Chains A and B, each alone.
Chain A
Amino acid sequence: MASKAYLNALKEIPKDIQNDVIGSLDIANEIHLVLEQKNLCAADLAKMLNKSESEISKWLTGLHNFTYKTVRKISDVLGVDLLVTNSSKIAEYEEEIELLQNKIDELTNKIDSDFGYHETLNFMVSTVVLQDEDSLDNDRYLASFIPYEAENEVKIKAETDSTLSFHVIKG
C-alpha cells in the first residue's frame, strides 16, 4: 500500500507529469534489472541495439521518453517482455496455479498409496502460497481452501522454481 506521503504528493502534481515520471522510471528500472539478471551492462545493450553507450545510459536514468517501438526492440534483443499486460500476467499466474494444483493432486495420491491413509487421514490444504524464490517481493497468490488448523507443514519444490507450502492435518 502506498504511503500517506506518496498519496498526498500525487494530489499536488499534474497527472501528465505523474505519468511521464512513473512510466519512464518503470521502464528504465525494468531494463536495469534485466541487464543485471543477465550480467550485462549498458555497453552490451548499446552493441546489441547498435546505439551509443551514452544514449543507453540516459535510458537507464529514467528520463527517456520511450516509444513503443523502442521498448519492443529492447524486449527483443534482451529476450524478455518489458511490456506485460494484465491479461497476460493473469494467464501466467493461472498456469502456475494449475501446475501447483497438479502437484497437490500428485502428493495426495502418493500419501494415499504409500500409507493408505485416505480413509483415516483427512488432510486439507489451508493455503497455497505461490512465491517466486528469486524475487521475494513478487506478487503473492493465496488460494483459500478449507480453513483447518495446521499441524504439519509440507513444502514441495516445484519444477517452476516456486515453493509450494501447504498444511496437512490429521482428521
Chain B
Amino acid sequence: MKSEISIVLRKDLDFTNVRYYTLKFGDEKKTELDKFYDNYQKEYSKSVDYIKMWIAQIGEKFGAQARFFRPEDNAEALPPPTKELRCLDIELDKDNLNLRLYCIVLSPEVVILVNGGIKESDATRDSPGCWEQYKFTSNISSQINRMMKLGHLTIKGKMLKRDKLFNLTYTK
C-alpha cells in the first residue's frame, strides 16, 4: 500500500546548531523516531541513551558534520562510524553495539532522524532487524535528493521548505 510521508519537525530536538526532523506515515499516529524509541528504549536503553546524547551534542555543539555519521549508501546512520564503541563501556553487549538509527543528513544544520534496528551481520541486507528501516530511509533519501535538485524542497538555514504539490510516498 502506498502511503504519503511527511517530514515532521522535532521541536524537542531543535538545538543551537542542528534542527532535527523525522518522518511520519500519513496513515499512522507515531513518527518514525518515536517508533524507534518505543521499540528499543527498554531493551537497549544504554545504546539509545548514547544515541540521544550524540544527537544532542552534535546538534548543540558541532553541527552535523559528515564525519560524525556512518555512511550507508545514500543515507547515514548513528552511532558514528567505528567499532570502538566498546571502548566507552565494556558492559555494552553485542546487541547494544549494533543498534542503528538511520538518518538523512541534508546539511550541517538539517538532519532527518528516521528509524532503525539491530544490525545482526556485516551486510545490512542480511540483517532483518534493520533492513526494512534502511530500505525506507534510503528510498526517502533518494526522493528528497530528487526534490532538492528540482527545487521542490529547499533548505534555508535550519528550515526546510517544501513545495506542497510534491509529496514523498512509500510503498510498504
Binding site for B on A (CB under 8 A): 2-3, 5-6, 8-10, 12-14, 17-18, 20-22, 24-25, 29, 32, 57-58, 60-65
Contact = CB atoms under 8 A, between A and B. Distances in A.
B49 A14 contact: yes
B49 A13 contact: yes
B118 interface: no
A25 B55 CA distance: 12
B61 interface: yes
A64 B79 CA distance: 12
Contacts of A14: 49
Given A21-B50, A22-B57, A25-B57, A65 B16 contact: no
Nearest to A1: B16
Interface string B79-107: 11111110111000000000000000000
Contact of A63 (B15, B58, B61, B88): B88
B84 A63 contact: yes
Contact of A32 (B59, B67, B80, B84): B67
Contacts of A2: 16, 60
Interface residues of B, number: 32
A24 B85 CA distance: 11
A22 B56 CA distance: 10
A13 B87 contact: no
B14 interface: yes
A29 B59 contact: no
Contacts of B82: 57-58, 61, 63-64
B54 interface: yes
A66 to B, nearest CB: 9
13 contacts: A2-B16, A2-B60, A5-B56, A8-B12, A12-B52, A20-B50, A20-B89, A21-B53, A25-B62, A61-B81, A63-B80, A65-B87, A65-B88
Nearest to B16: A3
A18 B87 contact: no
Contacts of A6: 15-16, 56, 59-60
